[in-house]
A = this chain, B = another copy of it.
Amino acid sequence: MTVLEEMGKKAKHAARELAAAGRLREKALFAMARAVEHEVDAILAANRLDLRQAEKDGMSAPLMDRLALSDTRVRAMAEGIRSVAAQADPVGQVVSGFVRPNGLKIEKIRVPIGVIGMIYEARPNVTADAAALCLKAGNAVILRGGREAIHSNEAIAQAMRGALESCKMNPDCIQLVRDPSRESAVEMMQLTGLIDVLIPRGGRGLIRSVVENSRVPVIQTGAGNCHVYVDDSADVAMAAKIICNAKTSRPSVCNAIETILVHRGIAERALPAIQAALDQKNVELRGCERTRAILGDRVVPATEDDWGREYLDYILAVRVVDDMDEALRHIARYSTGHSEAIVTSSYENARRFTTAVDAAAVYVNASTRFTDGGEFGLGAEIGISTQKLHARGPMGAFELTSYKFIVTGSGQIR
């Protein structure tokens, strides 16, 4: 038996215990939050090891930002766990129920999925968020974080497993893969029967590789090529504020925008205001010919390649469009189905945009940065699904459950 098979079997066993644990799960979550706070020094020391190695390896600034922990970020991690603990328990919820004409009572009851496998990259807070959400929903979890964060992840997982033990719960509800190699990820993708669902979280390459190679069912998350469309009826100041926020408040995350589409009827007024706002954050613009005609040569010429890029950096592509139809076609072609926004003052255009755009979250007059489990009130998130099956958008504990039908009768036959 390989190390991962053994972890899978332990996880299956732990999951069976967990499904029956009831209120104990909530108690364990509060203990996990306390343990993470209590171990803040050990976690930050481990994180410094990871950061030192990352610096040696020449990691880019946005990736370093994803990896870095601070006292504040560790406390936010603990608060995230508490916030998950405080959510309503999804397990056992009667989703619906009715009595059939023949007297059979049919109830649809929410149940855990079983064992969740997480494959993720640099962000160590995923370790805490994923463990908390899986536990909340009665699932065991196998965490396979990135090599870059291995020390941080081990320190966080150790704190949480200790908390489970202190509550007399099976620590194997939360297991971390010690070997963050390509091989361990590939092996997880083959563990059908032991892992019930695999959630990849990270860059486009990672996600594509898992989606294409996994035999375990996958929930596709993340990759966000998000757009803001500035309608000709838009409030220019609002558009500039939303675009600047959606691009620069945290460029390394998936709900940050990568391209703006500006109606030609407002481009001459809107583009200079948008550029002025972005200049303050040193954002590089890559524009189509019409954009450059308005903003000048400081704007790098955009190529076809730019429309499909997820920069995750202080770079923004800009395209002037003839009308909303052209904007909708551009979005239909290049969007990854994550978050898309319109800035408009037209009721009809708002209505049309929200109906026509096929994405997990469609915004009117707000920043795409709100596509987030915390901002949506889920406590935390295990990822943002960009697929349509099972779950779409931010996924919390509720999205980590399934259901079953319980049918009770008095001898009914068909």
Contact with B along A361-385 (1 / 0, CB 8 A): 1111111011100011100000000
For A, the interface residue count at a CB cutoff of 8 angstroms equals 59
B407 and A366 form a contact (CB under 8 A): yes
Question: For A411, what are the chain B residues with a Cβ–Cβ distance below 8 Å?
Answer: 235, 238, 241-242, 365-366
Binds B, one of A30-38, A167-175, A387-395: A387-395
Task: Check if A406 is an interface residue, CB within 8 A of chain B.
Answer: yes
Question: For A412, what are the chain B residues with a Cβ–Cβ distance below 8 Å?
Answer: 365-367, 370
Question: For A413, what are the chain B residues with a Cβ–Cβ distance below 8 Å?
Answer: 241-242, 245-246, 249, 366-367, 369
Question: For A375, what are the chain B residues with a Cβ–Cβ distance below 8 Å?
Answer: 100, 414
> What's the minimum C-beta distance from A112 to chain B, rounded to whole angstroms?
9
> What's the minimum C-beta distance from A348 to chain B, rounded to whole angstroms?
14
Task: Check if A106 is an interface residue, CB within 8 A of chain B.
Answer: yes
Binds B, one of A57-65, A212-220, A267-275: A212-220
> What's the minimum C-beta distance from A225 to chain B, rounded to whole angstroms?
15
A405 and B393 form a contact (CB under 8 A): yes
B98 and A377 form a contact (CB under 8 A): yes
- Name the residue of chain B whose CB is nearest to the CB of A103: B366
Task: Check if A196 is an interface residue, CB within 8 A of chain B.
Answer: yes
A197 and B361 form a contact (CB under 8 A): no
Question: For A358, what are the chain B residues with a Cβ–Cβ distance below 8 Å?
Answer: 111, 404
Contact with B along A112-135 (1 / 0, CB 8 A): 011000000000000000000000
B364 and A409 form a contact (CB under 8 A): yes
Task: Check if A87 is an interface residue, CB within 8 A of chain B.
Answer: no
B100 and A389 form a contact (CB under 8 A): no
Which of B235, B389, B409 is A197 in contact with, Cβ under 8 Å? Answer: B389
- Name the residue of chain B whose CB is nearest to the CB of A106: B376
Question: For A111, what are the chain B residues with a Cβ–Cβ distance below 8 Å?
Answer: 358
Assembly CA distance A389 to B196 (angstroms):
9
Known A-B contacts: A241-B413, A369-B413, A370-B412. Give 6 more (CB < 8 A).
A219-B389, A238-B411, A361-B406, A361-B407, A362-B406, A392-B402
Q: Report A's interface with B, CB cutoff 8 A.
A: 20, 98, 100, 104, 106, 111, 113-114, 196-197, 212, 215, 217, 219, 235, 238, 241-242, 245-246, 249, 350, 354-355, 358-367, 369-371, 375-377, 387-390, 392-393, 402-414
